[in-house]
Chains A and B, each alone.
Chain A
């Protein structure tokens, strides 16, 4: 038995991008359904974030300086047109949200409070994201958006090459449903392989896998290797930002190694920082510690991430007095990773009717090859969320209420087939193995062709095991089964693109090709053709304008 719901726009994933897209689409006057496998608004990484949102402000910043700094950091893989549109558009949206009462912090004169961060030229407005997202959700509800929490989306339904909607199941009640709509927005966040850090358990690449399965193109996948910094004893993530305001990293000999390497300036990105940490360990000077005795913004840090303060207090740790051991924190193709679904300047994917936003859309269009810029992820989710909402509503309005055709047939049986099977390991065990493998710095940070191929072999074995043996013991486990399958797809796309890029550029470093090769100054796309993943150039971003590609 399949429940069928008809609407104009269906939004899959309710993080910052998804809730913003749903609100924007509803404001345009169309019917909207918002799905989340957990709770829309407060489940994804957005609600856990430190609330630093990149924001260029006219009159305070030079647009040309910003664009230039990001073009330099992007190393030839981002576009001027995208950057200009992103900076200007993001500011307009932030200003409008502030006027609607969204909780941005202000300074003594009532202007947006901002702070700097890691990356080429970073100034972020600040917002407590839990409160922000709760308000975002309430705004959706009051605009009539139908919110379905605990609904795990599994596939985009296609009919004759066009999207007909989305199918999935209720994680609590097991009800299989098809939400039919001419416009589908995918905003399920990135892929951190259900990583072990705050907020990462909701993002395993489902949107990217769904889009690929529906015929859309992924891009910048070799840059699906974001590292930040975590306290070794806690599940925290994002500590790289603490060094901006007086914190320091020390090696096992007590040396401030970033300063030694000439990295004291804030322009070093998260991945460059992680590589410096690894080189210390490799040279036998590990472990790595963070020393925050000189940290200047403790009150603000506590205000923006109260849960981090709780964890530390409960552990009896005074982060600002005692040195703490830190490790590189792998979050893969999520957070400040450029990887994701290819979109054009209207947030359209390469399949008409499917739109993408947030971490699952490729932010390489603005970051280029630079992995780990503070604040860019929330800004990207905010900006592309609004963009996708507007474009999807216009597309649905053009469809004029014409509902795409769909036959429920064997949907229920097809979606829940792993349930009750008990031939192999649990999906969660396979996903954990995959996550550990991808997090290894000798696989994802300091790469070599041979090691990448080796890992690809392991990934295909795990895929075979999952699809042929592994079963789900209940509905929660079934959700993890789909997460594991999606994460395997993202891993394959990431590894294949990393094998193909036979050079080093930005956050992609190959020991066997340690220099940049000008012949590789193009974006790599990944598509599925006859069930086989193919990696090929999408076009020079600067030349095509970064959005057109081969749409």
Chain B
């Protein structure tokens, strides 16, 4: 069981859901997304796409609204993000990213592009984006299991660390503004992020 494998205790009241550690899907709304992306890439599988859409489009829309898009903009951008998932599926590399991380990066880049339309700065290439190499089937499974370990680890973070992470990812704020939002000094925000990331990196390791 995943939770028992975590090296730190889950918070009371925020305990991670129990998840099986077997090779199959863990719940109805958390299917093996890396395999679905692969099905889109290899067979242009529309059913697989529809499943990915049902899961990610509402979350991408929520992400875009949290980071400042109006509802109608967020709806349209979420469409474009999921269409990008369809087109870029062959580039998804499960050895480098969980499915959710890959979709998140697409949504993040789309958000930055939409902000930049009226900017003078040229579009920046994404330093994290690399062409994917073919991978063995167990990389798909590993990416899925990694996402599950991460999910449990996120649920086990102390509330202050999890709050600092959420502000960093979902509010368009500088760190000095985060300082104000959290009511703690900048050094404290940074150290919460550092503590959180140290735990989460551990959870992401394949031997975790």
Partners in one complex: no
Q: Which residues of B pack against A, CB within 8 Å?
A: none
